[in-house]
Structure 1
């Protein structure tokens, strides 16, 4: 389950804007997508005499547990040089990271208190928070951030500065592509990757409708009998879906990402069909194929057979549990043969056998870099 975390960041030692930017970069890498960044404000030290702070606020979308988010922020602080001395009272610091809100959660633990118990008293939190969450309601006070700011008794002088913080997601955007197809063997993770990309980069998501195919469970029980109707039904459905979805303009999405390319129909049918069936199927396929829009980028996720089998077992679809290694090996070879001879598409092959881009965000970001 994804949730939004509202984080206050501040610094009053050294190159303050550089520390803030490093914190933003680390939060993006280790916690999640940064959906919004406030302006940067200069504020006097609160509760002690020291140099002025630079402060900002972020909205971060994450799948991490709340306590893991907090512990990760503490680790980021330590990595950027902050040392918590144990001395009572406030001190100057290279970086200060505080969780203000986590959705509508109310948490009171030794590690984490949410909403932050002092946030409504602090202008240096409320002012930047207003930039990105003016209408967000405090789950305890039932007041918006704007209302809390109006009621705040802190009279500190707060000043917007010229410097701005850059969102690291800009380094990963797919600006050169209108249609990306993510492909791979059974269990390679193509649906997971396509879904994550669509959520993080405002893309229209096109997912293969395999779950609705009545021939699929039958095929795994009796391949020779049901191979041809299965492949024909897949081809018809893929043709219709790609034609419909790519023809429907969505003004609110930046591009399209799918978890398949229609050419997979020919790859699978060559493995599953008898020779005479395949010849007929291939004729029908190319009649349809020339009418279908081709992806600007074709990404093939390669997983070794051992990892594929683990993923198949993990997702637990009953009709897939008897898939043999030989079948998966043939599919991999079929894809690689197609890609080796491919001249019309821009193709990127990524070996994800040693990566877990679902559980490990840094693995996910490394794949995005390879794609870009």
Structure 2
């Protein structure tokens, strides 16, 4: 394994905790990835203006031999396997959502994928669990450790920390 990746996980349809565990199990079953650590799970209000159930969110750290684009396709296949359909609404409900937050110190801006994730620092439901795992991670754009960056999420969505472990 050569790469460290931080992935954001979210679910608000069905058994939210079980859906997050499905993501971790599927990633862990691959001989190309290994799940290293998980943040706590947070219950969060939905992002955007669509009325829907609350989410469970977490961040995991993985290692992989997959390139960033292969990893993207791999996690999208896990989402589909969990029952996720193509989004009818941009921030609509979903069984499982997996986003690449960081892929080492790699920077990429494409049509389907942007690394680092361009919205992570505005969303407390990504930033808070990320900081549990990655305080010493060096941000590839600003070239500072995350612990040394002043973040001010645009909106507050965290309702509570859930006392359940994903690993």
- TM beyond 0.5: yes
Give the superposition deviation at 1:149. 6.3
Partner of 1:12: 12
1:77 aligns with 2:113: no
Q: CA RMSD in A?
A: 1.7
Conserved in 2, the CA contact under 8 Å of 1:120 and 1:148? no
Matched length:
165
> Taking structure 1 as reference, are residues 147 and 154 closer, same or farther at Cα in structure 2, changes over 3 Å only?
farther
Gaps of 5+ in 1: 167-372
Secondary structure (helix, strand or coil) at the match of 1:111 reads coil
Partner of 2:36: 35
**CA radius of gyration, larger in:** 1
Structure of greater relative contact order (alpha carbons < 8 Å, 6+ residues apart) = 2
Structure 2: how far apart are the matches of 1:92 and 1:72? 21
Relative to the length of structure 1, the TM-score reads 0.42
Conserved in 2, the CA contact under 8 Å of 1:70 and 1:111? no
Secondary structure (helix, strand or coil) at the match of 2:61 reads strand
Conserved in 1, the CA contact under 8 Å of 2:42 and 2:158? no
Structure 2: how far apart are the matches of 1:157 and 1:38? 14
Deviations 1:196-241 (A, max 9, x none): xxxxxxxxxxxxxxxxxxxxxxxxxxxxxxxxxxxxxxxxxxxxxx
Gaps of 5+ in 2: none
Q: Which has the higher strand share?
A: 2
Conserved in 1, the CA contact under 8 Å of 2:121 and 2:151? no
Give the superposition deviation at 1:24. 0.3
Structure 1: how far apart are the matches of 2:115 and 2:38? 20
Conserved in 2, the CA contact under 8 Å of 1:8 and 1:55? yes
Deviations 1:23-78 (A, max 9, x none): 10001122411111111111100113211110111111111111100000000000
Give the superposition deviation at 1:147. 4.6
Structure 2: how far apart are the matches of 1:51 and 1:146? 32
Give the superposition deviation at 1:148. 4.8
1:50 aligns with 2:21: no
